[in-house]
Amino acid sequence: MIGTAPNGFRASITGIGSYVPDRVLTNAELSTMVDTSDEWIIERTGIRERRIAAPEQALSDLCRPAIEQALAQAGVEPASIDLLIVATVTPDMSFPSTGAILADELGMPDAGAYDLSAGCTGFMYALVQAYGMMAAGLSQRALVAGGDVLSKIMDWTDRTTCVLFGDGAGAVVLDRVDRGGFLGFELGADGSGGPQLYMPAGGSRMPATAETVAERKHFAQMNGREVFKFATRVLVSSALAILEKCGRSIDDVDVYIPHQANVRIIDHAVGKLGISTDKVVVNVDRFGNTSSGSIPLALAEADASGRLREGDIVLMTGMGAGLTWGSALMEWSSK
Nearer to ligand UT7 by Cβ, of 125 and 228: the residue is: 228
Find the part of the chain contacting ligand UT7 (CB under 6 A) among 82-90, 174-182, 205-213, 261-269. 261-269
CA 290/CA 148 separation, integer angstroms: 6
Q: Which is nearer to ligand UT7, 166 or 180 (CB)?
A: 166
DSSP per-residue codes, 189-248? E-GGGGGGEE--SSSSSS---HHHHHTTTTS-EE-HHHHHHHHHHHHHHHHHHHHHHTT-
Using Cβ positions, the residue closest to ligand UT7 within the complex turns out to be 224
Stretch 139-178: interaction string toward ligand UT7, x if CB under 6 A = --------------------xx--xx--------------
Query: Does residue 261 touch ligand UT7 according to CB under 6 A?
Result: yes
Query: For the chain, what is the radius of gyration of the CA atoms?
Result: 19
Shortest Å, Cβ 333 to ligand UT7: 29
CB count within 10 Å of CB 7 equals 5
CB of 163 to ligand UT7, least distance (A): 4
Q: Say which DSSP state 78 is in.
A: G
What DSSP assignment string belongs to 96-156?
S-HHHHHHHHHT-TT-EEEEE-BTBTHHHHHHHHHHHHHHTTS-SSEEEEEEEEGGGG--T
- Verify binding: residue 11, ligand UT7, rule CB under 6 A: no
Among 225, 249, 251, 310, binds ligand UT7 (CB under 6 A): 225
Cross-strand partners of 235: none
Single out the catalytic residue among 63, 120, 162, 246.
Answer: 120
Q: Which is nearer to ligand UT7, 48 or 248 (CB)?
A: 48
Omega before residue 96 within 30° of 0, cis: yes
**Per-residue DSSP letter, 291:** G
Q: Does 7 qualify as catalytic in the annotation?
A: no
Distance CA 152, CA 19 (A): 17
Of 262-321, which residues contact ligand UT7 (CB under 6 A)? 262, 265, 289, 320
When binding is defined by CB under 6 A, the residue of 19, 228, 256, 332 that contacts ligand UT7 is: 228
Judged by beta carbon, residue 317 or residue 333, the one nearer ligand UT7 is: 317
Residue 40 found at the interface with ligand UT7 (CB under 6 A):
yes
Q: Is 330 in a helix, a strand, or coil?
A: strand
C-alpha torsion 60→63→69→71, nearest 10: -80
Q: How far is the CB of 138 from ligand UT7 (least distance, A)?
A: 30
Q: CB of 287: closest distance to ligand UT7 in angstroms?
A: 13
268 is catalytic: no
Active site residue 63: no
Look at residues 219, 221, 289, 256 and name the one whose alpha carbon lies nearest to residue 20: 289
Binding site for ligand UT7 (CB under 6 A): 36, 40, 44-45, 120, 159-160, 163-164, 222, 224-225, 227-228, 231, 259, 261-262, 265, 289, 320
